[in-house]
Structure 1
Amino acid sequence: MLPQNPSANPFEFASPSYLTSALFDLGDCFGNLCRLPLQSAVKLFGSYSSDNRSESTSDSARQRLPIPPSRFLAQQLKTNIPFAVSREWKNQVWSYQLSLHTSYTGPDSHALHRHLSARSLTSIPTEQKDSVQDWLYFASPLDHLTRLHWQLLTTEELKQQRLLNLTFWLKQKLNQGSLINNLLLTPLTDLPLGDGLNLQPARSFARVGKQSLPDQQRLPSLHFAIFRQHRLTEGYGLQPSELFAAQEKLAAQSSVLASDQALLILDYRQCSKILELLEKALLLKNS
């Protein structure tokens, strides 16, 4: 279980050298990525804060929060270092989800997406599912984990974090993408709301439509399409005539054709409108 005082920093109570040694014994590091067995990591982190927990706290409501199941951990913990929770079979990824990082909570987490997506499976034999293991990944060198801060989000904070994540995600796409008429083209490096690239993109973009603004107004599902190996493979809500025109224009660009990077196609006007709604709602809430 997570410690009862999740707002505390568990690493404050441990010697950095001892903690680094313990983390190294538990998991593996790949340069700027580290992974640990999820249950071992939770026990390790929790032991430091529970052994040194203060009896008084300024946020007693946070202490009474139920502990989320491991599959929801990526969504309900806020950290200063991007992390992911993965479910793996024989060191190959069955599913994964990233933490809801925003421009306020740390650097981007594309390295986690690239690493986990490259090792993703589409299915696992039924008779082997009992050997599936959960892992906790951090986009950080090992020595930086001694400066990890985290907290368990309340229901209201989680809702706010999702809206901030969507705002940051849309800003990134609008700033980094290129336009063909009303279509916004950008490399498919991540999905909104921390979803793994091995999940169905349609599910992720539909989840946007389940988010509510503070005034209870529901956001629309995002219209999208994906070009893989220069072919339209899936999509929802975009005009076929616009997509075919974009595909023809891309076919004439040898620099694009030379890349195997999947392209995400979004509706520029829809993204701009949703971003405007999000920024206005968050500004009002924080004023």
Structure 2
Amino acid sequence: MSIDSGQEELPRQVAGRPEMRESDLEYGRRTKEIIDNVLRDQFGDFFRSQEVLDGREAIPCIYKEGDPDSRVVLVLGDNASGKSYFRRLVEYTVQIGRLTELARIPDGKYPSDIFEVSPEERMEPGSFAALRYGDEAMHSTGDSSLQMVSRTIGWIRDAAQKKPTRDCIAYFDEPDMGSGLRVAKSIGLLIGSLGAERIPQLKSIFVTSHNPAVVRQLLKADSRPHYVFLGDSEGPRTIEDWLEMQKSEEVDPISPEELKKLSRQRFSDIQKVLDLRKERRKKTK
């Protein structure tokens, strides 16, 4: 895993956000604690080289820290790169926060609630998914995506008022599904505006997207978010590099067979690390 703190370069004030306040640094610290728990601490095995994988990482990773006060995390990568599993590890971290809250342990390290938009939930059968994401027999896919992001932000605001002592995070995993350029820009603008609101209970905003329009809009609101690139340790080192790569004509296409093979390999590597962790737990009992 490649890690770049980059903090020696960071100014006290950046374009797109007001001057830093002490409370903003608290958001940045809490966000970094979640990232560290996933990439280094409790779940770091998935991002470190392992003997059971012949020295490979289950999920190769590049991580570049953002501004000290940034609560926005861009989680980028190609298909079958491990982004969905990264989201699950963030979810598990929030579960730790929830258990800490239930145990009435004061000053828990992690937020205890998560507001989430994800392809997995969107594709679930039944009325719950239709209620949250809309009925695409009646509405366009882009309309459903935009309305879902807007509703989720509304729920976050409502929760902050009704549960002022309960910290939370937001995770927008491919919120722009089926969106054209204008809708993708609107989604990026909405999420960026949410970050700029400085809702005290909202400690972190994670965003995954394949769409440069979404990313560019987010950068207008937060010019130095945290950057996590998954699936290739030789991939783009910065968000700017990622944006340039999206314009490149030199990126090779991938066949259905190659993508299926890559997906199976990623799943297999993650499972081997899960088995390794399970064996370790048995030995410590």
What is the TM-score normalised by the length of structure 1? 0.26
Give the structure with the larger strand fraction. 1
Structure whose alpha-carbon radius of gyration is higher: 1
Q: Greater share of helix residues, 1 or 2? A: 2
Higher relative contact order at CA 8 Å, sep ≥6: structure 1 or structure 2?
2
